[in-house]
Chains A and B, each alone.
Chain A
């Protein structure tokens, strides 16, 4: 099923023509409207008019997350604030947040792309969509919300958490589509079992899962336990949010909406472009964004592109499921967390010494972020309530800055292994 068949089934040659026209325009737009790009292009001695063929894109410099951070809050906006109708942002301590703005037209495009995504997963206006992605500055919740509304489905904007209630509503409201992170869907299955609710007997039809890596094994488990068709989606707030690519019924790679995004694969070390079929870092240029367009944005996500025609009839290039990162970013329950952010938070708390360790594991299918902090004599007290206060302070600060809950564990000194004098900061025990 297609939402916009005339576009989604365009032959590759035509897709490439559209991309060429739009790339030329967006490079000019960025150069004219955003000082950052003008300076950067000038530095590299490249002009928008140097772009004539798709291959010419490699003449242009990359944009990295740090560039967006430094532009905090509005320096990457290509239009006056008055034209921005929505602002989203990534989590992070001040100065680490990336802010993205959308014009009315950006919201329109985003809704269309999410409608394509949902329809590719089989959603129609008869469906009841339980949207368990978190709402707020995070793009997941509102992205799905506007897409499902565009399709005309019934939206239950339940947001994340409160799993017993999720199960109750799934049963009582006859939910047909579940949208959340893949690991959360397994947790929902777990809670449903505890509550004596047989998910297989409910109306669930499809699950649209994203915001974290997952495997084919997990897919089989989810499909088996929830009795639904489990699809993967991909997106990132710097580019638009969810709505960059989606799996069709063939479940053999995620179709990238190439009329709005131009993608490349590069060697993360050298920055050299790699041919189709080779694994590397995904780089995206937005073709139609007005609020914050990005040129050659390095996602740090590792994947492979496949341009072969697909049985679904779409000719959009497919990317393999993202299974790794080119940096140390962690994804905790769909939230992106950098170890450096946690370190920064700990350093700001009086008396806490830099002996800490971040442990990530799964408990009942859900990610747990455990921060172990060695107790030194500055924070130790004979009164238990003081120790509890420190724990809860660290927890609160992490929640406040990163938007993710954590487990803080005070441990005895020197229990955290030090290798060659330097502690191993992150231990990720998850098996995806």
Chain B
């Protein structure tokens, strides 16, 4: 399978480390000169950008967390003036405010490049017809893949998310060869297609580019079996760039990290110490080339490990194992990241809602379903259905506005949500992968 940028992707290790160091020095200067946030961090440990003479020196700097990024809402972490920013995306925040990320023209170019690489590694080429069923919008999933596949010169069908029967009709009629979505949505598509009487042979699907949520080898087998597709995993997060940080090659034994643009570390989430090569821990990324929104030692909260040794595909970029879990209470629902604290702050703004709620995540078929059970003050419990329905809708709209994902709100009587030791169990996740 062709390698999109062999000069980088197969670069000998020594040369790659040299390039990383050169770029690390660049980004250190870039943030030090432009963002007081980083200057303070450097000054606190008495490190000056020019003192960085090896990749190890990075370890002297403190980590940054999602909360720190969020506190600088909206543009406080932009390292360039707004007129040099050509795109804005955002990710959900732990409470209320999201993390807003900006891209310069150069950043968009880098983004398209790294996505073109992972798509090529998965087997996509010019002539492929790519159905993008990720949502477009502030979420980075849709646009990341869109620009990367456009870079390859493939045909892009920007269907966006939802409207499953229509997706299947398009898949059949347009002869889509590449499917881009979350793995669970791929299974849902398979199920609905079977229900519509569509046979595997009616589809021309060849390659699946799946991401934005955790999945298992079992799910991979099931997707491949039912859709007749070669299913690959890719990884990314908005704070660092979006999709395109890492992706699987034909070997599918780990995801190659685009190391010329992203420097990876794996740490013990409790101590912050680096773990041994091959040990599990939390992924930490430093962006080496981002102009508008650089991050230094960003803690992803994602648990994974790096795979030692070389890959038969010829790429020299290190591989990470697919993400196994989180070190915080974030849940991923249909590819959207949600924090229970977000739900809480949204509910607190509605009159009549008690501060007791429960989030139930389950699968309906293969699709995630998010239910929020809310206790309602007795005084607010309407006796007419019409009013009850209105109230429920109000809560649903509020949650939609703050989470960006549809929830099913169930109104329950006061004191019916189980409390354990005075504190309610906030999240019940019934999903199995």
A residues within 8 Å of B by Cβ?
72-74, 81-82, 84-89, 94, 99, 101, 104, 125-126, 128, 135-137, 141-142, 149, 152-159, 162-165, 172-174, 399-401, 403
> Distance (Å) between the CB of A410 and the closest chain B CB?
15
B416 on interface, CB distance cutoff 8 Å: no
- The segment out of B44-52, B159-167, B259-267 that lies at the interface is B159-167
CB proximity of B185 to chain A, nearest CB, Å: 15
Q: Which 6 A-B pairs have the closest CB atoms?
A: A135-B136, A136-B160, A159-B137, A164-B401, A87-B157, A126-B83
Q: Is B400 an interface residue (CB 8 A)?
A: yes
Residue contact B150 to A85, C-beta cutoff 8 Å: yes
Q: Mark B160-194, 1 if CB is under 8 A from A, else 0.
A: 10011110011001100000000000000000000
Docked-complex contact B401 and A157, CB < 8 angstroms:
no
Can you identify 17 A-B contacts, CB atoms within 8 angstroms?
A82-B126, A86-B150, A86-B155, A87-B155, A87-B156, A87-B157, A101-B155, A136-B159, A142-B158, A154-B83, A154-B85, A154-B87, A156-B138, A162-B400, A165-B402, A174-B82, A403-B163
Among B87, B156, B400, B401, point to the contact of A86 (Cβ < 8 A): B156
Which residues of chain B are near A174, meaning CB under 8 Å?
A: 82
Contact code string B92-113 (vs A, CB < 8 Å = 1, else 0): 0000000010100100100000
B148 contacts A by Cβ under 8 Å:
no
Residues of chain B within 8 A of A156, CB atoms compared: 88, 138
Q: Which residues of A contact B400 (CB under 8 A)?
A: 162
Q: Does B38 contact A (CB under 8 A)?
A: no
Q: Is the CB of B82 within 8 A of A154?
A: yes
Contact yes or no, A401 B88, CB < 8 A: no
Q: Which residue of A lies closest to B167 (CB)?
A: A400
Given A94-B169, A152-B83, A152-B86: 15 more A-B contacts, CB < 8 Å: A73-B174, A81-B127, A85-B153, A86-B158, A87-B155, A87-B156, A104-B153, A126-B82, A128-B82, A135-B142, A135-B158, A157-B138, A164-B397, A172-B73, A174-B82
List, in ascending order, chain A residues with CB within 8 A of B82's CB: 126, 128, 154, 174
- On chain A, the residues within 8 Å of B138 by CB distance are 156-159
Q: Which residues of A contact B86 (CB under 8 A)?
A: 149, 152-155
- The interface residues of chain A lying within 8 Å CB-to-CB of B135 are 159
Contacts of B269 in A (CB 8 A): none
Please name all residues of chain A whose beta carbon is closer than 8 Å to the beta carbon of B88 when the two chains form the complex: 154-157, 173
| In the complex, per-residue mask of B227-252: 1 if CB is within 8 Å of any chain A CB, else 0 | 00000000000000000000000000
The interface residues of chain B, by DSSP majority, are classed as mixed
* B62 on the A face (CB < 8 A): no
Cα of A141 to Cα of B402 in the assembled complex, Å: 22
Whether B154 sits at the interface, judged by CB under 8 Å, is yes
Residues of A within 8 A of B73 (CB): 172
- Residue B340 at the chain A interface, CB threshold 8 Å: no
Tell me the nearest residue of chain B to A163, going by C-beta.
B401
B156 A172 Cβ-Cβ under 8 A: no
List residues of chain B with CB within 8 A of the CB of A88.
Answer: 158
Q: Is B353 an interface residue (CB 8 A)?
A: no
Known contacts A73-B173, A135-B160, A173-B74, A157 near B155 by CB under 8 Å: no
Contact of B352 with A by CB under 8 A? no
Judged by a CB distance under 8 angstroms, whether B116 is at the interface is no
Chain A minimum-CB-distance residue to B173: A73
List of A residues within 8 angstroms of B83 by Cβ: 125-126, 152, 154
Judged by a CB distance under 8 angstroms, whether B129 is at the interface is: yes
Tell me the bound Cα distance from A84 to B160 in angstroms.
19
Closest to A135 in B: B136
In the complex, whether B404 has a CB less than 8 A from a CB of chain A is yes
The CA-CA distance from A88 to B132 in the complex, in Å, is: 12
Does residue B143 face the partner (Cβ distance < 8 Å to A)? Answer: yes
Tell whether, in the assembled complex, residue B155 and residue A85 are in contact, meaning their CB atoms are under 8 Å apart.
Answer: yes
B108 to chain A, nearest CB (A): 8
CA distance A85 to B151 in the complex (A): 10
Do residues B100 and A173 form an inter-chain contact, with CB atoms below 8 A? yes
A125: B residues at CB distance < 8 A:
83
When each residue 12-45 of chain B gets 1 if its CB lies under 8 Å from chain A and 0 otherwise, what string results?
0000000000000000000000000000000000
| Cβ distance A209 to chain B, nearest Cβ, rounded Å | 20
Partner of B157, one of A72, A137, A154, A173: A137
For this complex, into which size category does the number of interface residues on chain B fall?
35 or more
Shortest distance from the beta carbon of B219 to any chain A beta carbon, whole Å: 25
CA gap between A247 and B142 in the complex, in Å: 31
| CA of A163 to CA of B100, assembled, Å | 18
| A71 nearest CB across to chain B (Å) | 12
Inter-subunit contact A137/B160 (CB<8 Å): yes
A307 CA / B108 CA spacing, docked (Å): 41
**Most A Cβ at <10 Å: residue of B85, B159, B163:** B163
Kindly list chain A residues whose C-beta atoms are within 8 Å of the C-beta of B169: 94
Complex Cα spacing A74 to B156, Å = 14
Report the minimum CB–CB distance from B167 to chain A (whole Å).
9
Please tell me if the beta carbons of B155 and A81 are within 8 angstroms of each other in the complex.
Answer: yes
- Closest approach, in angstroms, between the C-beta of B106 and any C-beta of chain A? 13
Measured CB to CB, the nearest residue on chain A to B140 is A157
Interface assignment of B366: CB less than 8 Å from any CB of chain A: no
Q: Which residue of A lies closest to B96 (CB)?
A: A168
Of the candidates B85, B105, B136, which one forms a contact with A141 in the assembled complex, judged by CB atoms under 8 Å apart?
B136
**B 66-86 contacts with A by CB, 8 A:** 73-75, 82-83, 85-86
B154 neighbours in A (Cβ, 8 Å): 85
Closest to A157 in B: B137
Taking the closest CB of chain A, its distance from the CB of B227, in whole angstroms, is 20
A249 CA to B23 CA, complexed, in Å: 47
Known: A135-B137, A172-B73. A155 touches B87 (CB 8 A): yes
CA distance A101 to B102 in the complex (A): 30
Collect the chain B residues with CB atoms within 8 Å of residue A89's CB: 170
Q: What sequence of 0s and 1s flags, for each residue 280-307 of chain B, a beta carbon within 8 Å of any chain A beta carbon?
A: 0000000000000000000000000000
Docked pose: A104 CA to B126 CA in angstroms: 12
Separation of A162 and B102 alpha carbons in the complex (Å):
21
Chain B residue at minimum C-beta to C-beta distance from A134? B160
Decide yes or no whether B89 CB sits under 8 A from chain A: yes
Chain B residues near A159: list those with CB within 8 A: 135-138
- What A residues does B142 contact at CB under 8 A? 135
What are the residues of chain B within 8 A of A157 when measuring CB–CB?
A: 87-89, 136-138, 143
Closest to A384 in B: B385
Closest to B292 in A: A154
- A9–B153 alpha-carbon span in the complex (Å): 34
Q: Given the known A-B contacts A88-B158, A400-B165, are A99 and B87 also in contact in the complex, defined by CB atoms under 8 Å?
A: no
Residues of B within 8 A of A142 (CB): 136, 158
A78 to B186, CA, bound (A): 32
From the candidates B150, B158, B401, name the one contacting A162 in the complex (CB within 8 A): B401
Question: Cα distance A84–B157 when bound, in Å?
Answer: 10
The residue of chain B having its C-beta at the shortest distance from the C-beta of A154 within the complex is B85
**How far is the CB of B49 from the nearest CB of chain A, in Å?**
28
> In whole angstroms, how far apart are the Cα atoms of A416 and B142 in the complex?
43
Cβ distance B314 to chain A, nearest Cβ, rounded Å = 27
Contact partner of B136 (CB less than 8 A), chosen from A104, A128, A136, A400, is A136
> Please, how many angstroms separate the alpha-carbon atoms of A165 and B85 in the complex?
21
Of all chain B residues, the one with the shortest Cβ separation from A81 is B155
Shortest CB distance B11–A (Å):
30
Contact partner of A400 (CB less than 8 A), chosen from B129, B156, B164, is B164
B150 shortest CB reach to chain A, Å: 6
What's the least CB distance linking B346 to chain A, in Å? 11
